[in-house]
Every structure is written in structure tokens, then in C-alpha cells.
Amino acid sequence: MYKVLLADDEPIITKGLSAILDWEDYGFEIVHTAESGEEALSYIKQHSIDILISDILMGEMSGLDLIQEVKSIRSEIKSIVLTGYQEFDYLKRGLLLGIENYLVKPVDEEELLKTLQAVGMKLKVAMANSRAKESTTMLDNTMWSYLTGEIDKHDCLERLALYNIHLNQPYYNVSILNIEHYHQQDVVNDIRHFLETNYSSLCFNNPNQEIVIIFGGASEEELIIHNQRLVEDLLQEDREIGSFYLTMGKPVRLIDELEDSFTLARDYSMMQLYLEPNILISNKLTIDRQEELKKQQQLKEYIVKRLMNAEEESLELIDLYFKNLTEKNNIISPQVAKKYTFDLISYIHHSLQTEELCLYSAVVERIVYSSDIRQMKDILMEYCYEMILTIHDHVHLRSPIVQNVLTFIHTHFDQGLSLKTLGQQFHVNAIYLGQLFQKEVGVVFSEYINRYRLEKAKELLKTTHYRAGDIGKKVGYSDTTYFYKQFKKIVGTTPSEWRKI
């Protein structure tokens, strides 16, 4: 548990920060709140803490003055700055002091948590003799925020200029490197130093335990050569990185398109499940994944079937699901495992009780901030156990006909479904089926299938780069205009707005 001190001369701010997160759930403990820099410094002189979160302006001693004093007596403490406005001069001074990040009030919960977890990982793997030139979390956060669309190009380039970093090559591509010995910080530092010394590149660690590399070059061919040569360099025995995967996103000419290159690299990384390690994965590599995807779909259907009957056997199947993900090698990226975990959670949720939104939202949030595959499995097993308890009293009241209809809907939601076609499928009168469905499920059939399709659309908007109109067709809406109207009516935003949330 990492110890955190909050310092702000407005008590409402520290109270708000204390309440914004379930700190202990993520491995952090608020041990003290201070209303002035002097009070915070006095506490730190007498007690051990790991992280200082301080307002930038507080009475006589500012937050930056406090951080400077703390650095002089306990240099290992990591500092995060809060401010009510963007101020470039303060940012420059904060960088010189080595702050981990710069958060603008009101503090965004997700940005705070991402920063804390990045700092937590840094504390976990920090070594006494780590390289003096190790990039700060702030630089990593800058590049990660840009590639994920959280900050714009101008903001990114302005922050990079503080490190004397300039992106001015004709072509770029984003590659993702997964290495077996990622948790050995000296190995990661060596790789980053090697890349920045021997290649025209900028690299950083992202929250998913990956090294992201931005290669620059004079042509697309040069970028391909850079990636191929890096694989050869990584195969050298003295690298001590263990097994690895290097995934290459497409070359782009504009800095604005780096996000597209990164998105493709992330998509290609899903091939790790089907390939032996120590290779370059790019659009030049083609494999047939249909058989593996078919097996995964069958296993998901079997898990849901057991859950619908409130059988604890489903928990053993979760273990099998993760075993299938990792049995080929032991360096599957947590990001890859996370994507498949989301896929299974969504499938379970939409196949069972769509009303259980609180339980579903909670497990999704925990998975979002999880970076350990074993932890993901434990979270998913807890969720399934909760679902078993939740539906145990309901499942036995549901008729076999309705259970079969629900299973069919969840498997064929993208097709033209109606009470008439389902009545023919299961040899039951359509009117009777509609009445039975509404009585046991709680909503009329048309509303259920509409909401189910929209949930699948929301999932695809977050996890793929398909156009919104194409997604509408993929989930069963033949009329794109109708899909947009239904999405706006039920979700409250347009598909494009939802994707950005």
C-alpha cells in the first residue's frame, strides 16, 4: 500500500480527492491531509510517505516550494501537482523539479488514477541505481495521452519541446514492444537507452506494461527496415529481455496520423495469441484465426449456459478460458489479455441480466485499471460468482423456452429477428411467446433486442475503429438512419460522441 499525502489550502479539495477514488482498492492509502505547505513539510519530516499531491499555490509556501524542500530531504518521494489553471512557467519549473504529472482542477478521476498507477508501477520497479536519464512519468503520460486522443498535437509538441524533443521526420510509425522481462526495470531502461541511441526513435512505457516506440525515417521502406533490424538486435543473447513481440503500425506522413498508426499496431498485437514469439507482426503477416476464434466463441457460449443455470462449474471454465489465452507462451501482453477479458465480460453481461449495470460497470472499471493477467482472471471469477448469486433465485423461475430464446438472441442478434421467426424456430405461438417473454424478462421483445444491439454497438465503438454506420449494420440495423436515431434516443449521445467519452 503506497502512502499518499494531500496538501491544499482548501479543505473541500482534499475532501473531494479523498472521495473521488476508492484509494485502497488500487493500492494507495491517504495517510494525511494538510492545509498548508508548512504543515505538509512538518509531517513529511516525521513520517514516511511515497506520494505527495499538492496544490501549486498555498499561502506563503507554494506547492512547488514544498516539493523543492521535500526533494532535498527525501528525494525518493514522487510528487504530483494540482492547479486551477494551465500556467506554462509553473509547468517548466515543475519539470525541473521532476514532478510526475500536472493535473488541472477539477481533477478528472480517470487521469488521476492513470497517474497514480503509473507512479505506483514506477515505485514498485524503482532501483537504487536506476539510470539518471530515465524519462519521467510526465513524458510518458504526454505521449500516451496524445496517442489515445486525450491531448491535441499543439499541447503535445509544446510539452515535448521542454525535453528538447522535436518530431520533424518525413515519415513515422508507432510500434509496440512486449518483452518477457518487463518487470526488470534495468532491462527496460537498457532497451529504451539502446533504442534512443541507435535508432531515430522516441520510446516510452505505457500503462499496459509495453514499450511504445515512435520511429522516424525518410521513407516507408526505411521504417520497415528499422523495425526488422530491431528484431535482429533484440535476438542478441546479451539483451536479457527474454521472449518478445514487436508489432508495427502503418507508416504515416503527418504527426496528426500517429494515433491511426498506434491503433493498427494495437490491433495487430492481438495476433500474439496465434504466433510464436520473437518476430515482427505487421500488415505483411497474414494468418488464419477463424478456427481459434470459433473455439473461443464456443467456450464463451458454454460459460454463459452454465451461468444461466447458476452453476459454479462456470468458474472452472473461466480458468480454462485464461489458460487458453496463455498456454502457447508466457508473454502475452496484458493489453491483449484485457481485450479478450472485456469481450468475455460483455458477452456474459449481455447474455444474462442487462439490468445488472452496477455490477457490470464495477467489474469493467476494475479491469480497465488492471495490468496483471492473473488479477484479471480473479476479477472475472468474482464477477461470475456474483452473477451466480444474483440470478440463482431467478433462473429457476424462467421457462426453458425463454432461456433458449435469450441464448439464440445473444448469438444471432445481428440477424433479422422477430417473435414470428423465433416462434417458428422454437415451435411456439408468436403471440404466446411475446407475452411469456415480457412476463419473465420484464421488457417487451422489441425493446430487449433493441437495447441489446445498442450495447453491442457501444462495445464496438470503444474497441474497434469501424465507422459508426458500419457498426450499426454489424449489430443488426439495416437502416443506418434508424440506428443513429435509436442510439441518440436510448444512449443520449450520437455514436461519435459516445466513442470520445
pLDDT at 91: 64
pLDDT at 64: 87
Q: Is residue 287 within 8 Å of residue 279, measured between CB atoms?
A: no
| Residue 93 vs residue 429, higher pLDDT | 429
Question: How many other CB atoms are there within 10 angstroms of residue 118's CB atom?
Answer: 21
3-state secondary structure 372-426: CHHHHHHHHHHHHHHHHHHHHHHHCCCCHHHHHHHHHHHHHCCCCCCHHHHHHHC
Cα angle for residues 382, 408, 270 (degrees, 5° grid): 55
pLDDT at 357: 55
Q: Read off the pLDDT of residues 411-423 as tens digits, 9 standing for 90 and up.
A: 888 888 889 889 8
| DSSP summary character for residue 328 | S
Q: Read off the pLDDT of residues 59-72 as tens digits, 9 standing for 90 and up.
A: 788 888 899 899 88
Q: Read off the pLDDT of residues 205-246 as tens digits, 9 standing for 90 and up.
A: 887 778 999 999 999 999 999 999 999 999 886 667 888 899
Task: Taking residues 2-21, report their average pLDDT.
Answer: 91
Task: Taking residues 289-307, report their average pLDDT.
Answer: 72
**Is the predicted pLDDT of residue 289 greater than 80, yes or no?**
no
**Is the predicted pLDDT of residue 19 greater than 80, yes or no?**
yes
Q: Read off the pLDDT of residues 328-386 as tens digits, 9 standing for 90 and up.
A: 555 677 767 777 787 777 777 767 654 555 567 677 767 777 767 788 888 888 888 77
Cα distance between residue 259 and residue 153, in whole Å: 11
Indicate the pLDDT class of residue 108, thresholds 50, 70 and 90: confident
Residue 4 bridge partners (DSSP): 30, 51
The values of phi and psi at residue 76, to 5°, are: -75, -15
Q: Return the C-alpha cell found at 233.
A: 538486435
**Of the ranges 49-53, 82-86, 473-477, which one carries the lowest mean pLDDT score?**
82-86
179-182: long-range pairs with CB below 8 Å, 24+:
179/211, 179/234, 179/241, 179/242, 179/243, 179/244, 179/331, 180/241, 180/242, 180/243, 180/244, 180/277, 180/330, 180/331, 181/240, 181/241, 181/242, 182/209, 182/210, 182/211
Q: Read off the pLDDT of residues 111-164 as tens digits, 9 standing for 90 and up.
A: 898 889 888 888 876 643 444 344 457 788 888 888 877 788 888 888 888 878
Residue 204 bridge partners (DSSP): 212
Contacts of 2 (CB under 8 A, 6+ apart): 27, 28, 29, 50, 51, 119, 120, 123
Question: To 10 degrees, what angle do helices 445-463 and 430-441 make?
Answer: 60
The reported pTM is 0.49
Task: Taking residues 479-496, report their average pLDDT.
Answer: 82
Cα distance between residue 244 and residue 266, in whole Å: 15
**Is the predicted pLDDT of residue 428 greater than 70, yes or no?**
yes
- The percent of residues in the chain predicted with pLDDT above 70, rounded, is 85
pLDDT at 53: 94
Cα distance between residue 125 and residue 140, in whole Å: 16
Task: Taking residues 429-435, report their average pLDDT.
Answer: 87
**Is the predicted pLDDT of residue 103 greater than 80, yes or no?**
yes
Cα distance between residue 449 and residue 17, in whole Å: 40
Cα distance between residue 405 and residue 419, in whole Å: 10
| Closest by CA position to 346, among listed 460, 268, 487 | 460
Q: Read off the pLDDT of residues 244-272 as tens digits, 9 standing for 90 and up.
A: 899 999 999 988 899 899 988 888 887 77
